[in-house]
Amino acid sequence: MRIAFAGTPRFAAAALAAILDAGHPVALVLTQPDRPAGRGLKPRASAVGELARARGLPVLSPPSLRAGSGADGAGEALQHLRSAAPDLWVVAAYGLILPQAMLDAPRGVAGRSGPVRAINIHASLLPRWRGAAPVARAIEAGDHVTGITLMQMEAGLDTGPILCSEALPIAAADTTGTLTDRLAQLGARLIVSSLAAAAGGRWEPVAQPAEGVSYARKIDKREAWLHWSDAAAVLARRVRAFDPQPGACGRTGDAFVKIWSASAESGATDAEPGTVVSLGADAIRVACGQGVLAIHELQRAGGRRLAAREFLAATPMPAGTRWSMPARDPR
């Protein structure tokens, strides 16, 4: 079975590596263009781009797939795709919407209700958390379980029939980074087993349930600011959801601080939300709308991540210090 693959981050690279290691020929790879990265902001290839080039695969990195968007990336990609003559698209966290002409280009693999030409490896149990940021939104919402869904792609946003899915528990300490890594391994395993099922004529796509739909909108940097009037449990989930990007943050005095590790503690306090109520070797404790947020790991702008004790040695923050209360995101 000849595959055309579209993906960008490590989550997608795990699936591409598994497909190649299973012996499936990959005729074409699409990935996002190189982006500035690191302190020097030097252009860096995506994880998928690095893997594809290391394996000697043909790679295209169009900046856009919209017709009339300047450089005709869509036309060039469609031409290369037709020349490659794949049987199937496999898409994982690509970051661009594939036009219908590209979705229709593969020859297709037989399914119960007709040929399947494109499948997506999605990091949630659809129909929950359709959209761009399913892992972060699941953690932020306090979900106890997520998973991987392999879905037949169609014009709607993550609305296509389900080929298979598997659940994965969300651990209490999971961040978006750690959970994404575990989901990547699950997705890699499922795509290989699903391709084997397709080769045996055992694909039976099933329509998604009409109930339980939710949307995981893209994370905006403005969301990273912690609102101390919220409950401590909510803020602790946001800290984990926004790790590694964009990183939960706050401001005290003139110091911009990222918060990388925090836990919620119960108990009433008379202090205004955002007030440091106590300091300890393990944490800086800040009053919230409900409960107290114990901050364990912080980072000043231009610095490195520090445990609370190390941070306080360089940045005194006595009890009574106030963290700023940012304006709410109007969305």
Tell me what pLDDT residue 89 has: 97
* Other Cβ atoms closer than 10 A to 76: 13
The superfamily (CATH) of domain 3-216 is Formyl transferase, N-terminal domain (3.40.50.170)
Domain ranges for the chain, please list them: 3-216, 221-314
Tell me what pLDDT residue 200 has: 78
Query: How far apart are the C-alpha atoms of 33 and 118, rounded to whole Å?
Result: 22
Q: What is the pLDDT along the chain (331 residues), one digit of tens a residue?
A: 999 999 999 999 999 999 999 999 999 999 999 887 766 678 899 999 999 999 999 999 999 887 665 556 778 889 999 999 999 999 999 999 999 999 999 999 988 778 999 999 999 999 999 999 999 999 999 999 999 999 999 988 999 999 999 999 999 999 999 999 999 999 999 999 999 998 777 899 999 999 999 999 999 999 999 999 999 999 999 999 999 999 999 999 888 999 999 999 988 889 999 999 999 989 999 999 999 999 999 999 889 999 999 999 988 899 999 999 887 765 5
Burial label for 159, CB within 10 Å (0-12, 13-18, 19+), is middle
Dihedral sign, Cα of residue 153, residue 159, residue 161, residue 163: positive
The answer to whether the CB of 135 falls within 8 A of the CB of 176 is yes
Tell me what pLDDT residue 42 has: 81
* Other Cβ atoms closer than 10 A to 315: 16
The answer to whether the CB of 50 falls within 8 A of the CB of 79 is no
Per CATH, 3-216 and 221-314 having the same topology is answered: no
Tell me what pLDDT residue 141 has: 98
CA atoms within 13 A on the CB side of 196: 10
| CATH architecture of the domain with range 221-314 | Roll (3.10)
Query: How far apart are the C-alpha atoms of 159 and 154, rounded to whole Å?
Result: 7
